[in-house]
Amino acid sequence: METLQQLPLMSLRRSLLTWYATSGRSLPWRETRDPYQIWVSETMLQQTQVKTVIPYYQRWIEQFPTVEALAQADQQQVLKVWQGLGYYARARNLHKAAQEVVEKFGGQFPPNLEEAIALPGIGRTTAGGILSAAFNQPVSILDGNVKRVLARLIALERSPSKALKLLWQLSTDLLDLQQPRDFNQALMDLGATVCTPKNPACLLCPWKEPCLAHNLNMQNELPLSESRAPLPHKKIGVAVIWDDQGKILIDRRRQEGLLGGLWEFPGGKIEPEETVEACIKREIQEELGIEVEVGDRLITIDHTYTHFRVTLNVHHCRHLSGEPQPIECDEIRWVTLAEIEQFPFPKANVQIIQALHEFAAES
Domain parsing of the chain, residue ranges: 9-215, 233-362
> Is the N-terminal amide bond of 223 cis, ω within 30° of 0?
yes
Span 9-215: which CATH code?
1.10.340.30
SS3 34: coil
Q: How far is CA 123 from CA 68, 90, 115, 118, 145, in A?
A: 22, 12, 11, 8, 16
Task: Catalogue the long-range contacts made by 328-332 (C-beta closer than 8 Å, 24 or more residues apart).
Answer: 328/254, 328/286, 328/287, 329/251, 329/252, 329/253, 329/254, 329/266, 329/287, 330/251, 330/252, 330/253, 330/254, 330/255, 330/261, 331/251, 331/252, 332/249, 332/250, 332/251, 332/252, 332/288
Closest CA to 30 of 57, 12, 9, 3: 57
Helix%, strand%, coil% for the chain, nearest 5: 45, 15, 40
* C-alpha to C-alpha distance for 135 and 131, rounded to whole angstroms: 5
When the pLDDT of each residue in the chain is averaged and rounded to a whole number, the result is 95
> Catalytic residue at 42?
yes
Band (319; pLDDT cuts 50, 70, 90): very high
Q: What was the pLDDT predicted at 4?
A: 54
What is the gyration radius of the CA atoms in the chain, in angstroms? Answer: 24
pLDDT of residue 232: 93
* Residue-level pLDDT at 5: 56
Q: Over the range 185-203, which residues count as b (16 or more CB within 10 Å of their CB) and which as e?
A: bbbbbbbbbbbeeeebebe
284 close to 272: Cβ distance less than 8 angstroms: no
Q: Which amino acid is at 6?
A: Q
Confidence of residue 317 (pLDDT cuts 50, 70, 90): very high
Q: For residue range 217-272, list pLDDT tens digits in order.
A: 999 999 998 777 888 999 999 999 999 999 999 999 999 888 999 999 999 999 99
Higher model confidence: residue 353 or residue 305?
353
Q: What pLDDT does residue 293 have? A: 97
**CA torsion through residues 79, 85, 86, 88, sign:** negative
Cα dist from 249 to 244, 270, 334, 354, 359, whole Å: 12, 20, 5, 16, 17
Distance from C-alpha of 23 to C-alpha of 186, rounded to nearest angstrom: 9
Q: What's this model's pTM, rounded to 2 decimal places?
A: 0.89
**% pLDDT > 70, the chain:** 98
Q: In the CATH hierarchy, which fold is given to the domain comprising 233-362?
A: Nucleoside Triphosphate Pyrophosphohydrolase (3.90.79)
Q: Are 111 and 131 in contact (CB under 8 A)?
A: yes
Write the DSSP string, 2-14: --STTS-HHHHHH
Catalytic residue, from 42, 264, 283, 287: name it.
Answer: 42
Closest CA to 359 of 295, 291, 284, 283: 295
- Digit-coded pLDDT (tens) for 78-87: 999 999 999 9
For 29-80, the pLDDT digits (tens) are 999 999 999 999 999 999 899 999 999 999 999 999 999 999 999 999 999 9
